[in-house]
Amino acid sequence: MMYHTSPSLLCADQLRLGETVELLNGLGIDWFHIDVMDGSFVPNFAFGADAIRAVCSAAKRPVYAHVMAVNPQNHIESFAALGCDYFCFHLETTNNPFRLCQQIRAAGMKPAAALNPATGVERLADLLDCLDAVTLMSVEPGFSGQSFLPFMYDKIAALHRMIGGRPVLIEVDGGVNNEIARRCLGCGCDIVVGGYFTLFQKGKAISECYQSFEEAIKEEKV
């Protein structure tokens, strides 16, 4: 089984973002997780078009746009034009997820859906065949540095069982440290978002943090 990590660029040093992307390109990460927040669906703002375009231009790995915004259908074409590879919308923001997935795929991106902690995975049962990935929020969306919600282990396992043999990746986002990452991977997730508790630890080099992460998850037997 392959383990994956996706650095959250929201947690990176914003004054050195380009340098950070170049460093991460060479570390073996699986994709860049870039948060987009509109100040409405979540109480925060993050990453406008110019920043996303710059990241997409510099990234040698896929760019996963986690769109925490109302009316996600209004942003599909623009995010495709910016160069994003994945477009992840929140299931809570739409009544037409099947149409949204079709529009995302037609624009040349891979559709993904995110679920807030209070949203049950059973709501994805009929949608899974339309998705390439699911992001399970393990904290309330909108701010980095929150504590992981422990009931998420069961939720990860339930989604893993529901997916079965489908080629749908499970990403876990929020409050993940190395120990939590190991447990999440053991429950069936494929990718953990690397933030302040893993890849961007204060006072440590990113490469050092990544090595520690890799060593920690190799201990998991699945």
Encode pLDDT of 161-204 as tens digits.
Answer: 999 999 999 999 999 999 999 999 999 999 999 999 999 999 99
Question: Is 222 among the domain residues?
Answer: no
Question: Is 95 among the domain residues?
Answer: yes
The range of the structural domain enclosing residue 33 comes to 4-217
What lies within 8 Å, CB to CB, of 85 at 6+ separation is: 31, 62, 63, 64, 109, 110
Q: Is residue 150 pLDDT above 60, yes or no? A: yes
* Residue 222: per-residue pLDDT: 41
CATH code of 77's domain? 3.20.20.70
Q: Is residue 83 pLDDT above 60, yes or no? A: yes
Whether 154 sits among the annotated catalytic residues: the reply is: no
pLDDT in tens, 15-30: 999 999 999 999 989 8
Question: 30, 35, 132, 190: which one is catalytic?
Answer: 35
pLDDT in tens, 123-137: 999 999 999 999 999
Segments of 79-174 assigned E as strands: 86-90, 110-115, 133-137, 169-173
Question: Is 184 among the domain residues?
Answer: yes
Can you tell me the mean pLDDT for 54-64? 96
Can you tell me the mean pLDDT for 51-68? 96
Question: 30, 85, 132, 173: which one is catalytic?
Answer: 173
DSSP code at position 122? G
Question: Is 108 among the domain residues?
Answer: yes
Question: Is 92 among the domain residues?
Answer: yes
Whether 30 sits among the annotated catalytic residues: the reply is: no
pTM: 0.94
Question: Is 115 among the domain residues?
Answer: yes
Can you tell me the mean pLDDT for 204-208? 96
Count how many domains the chain has. 1
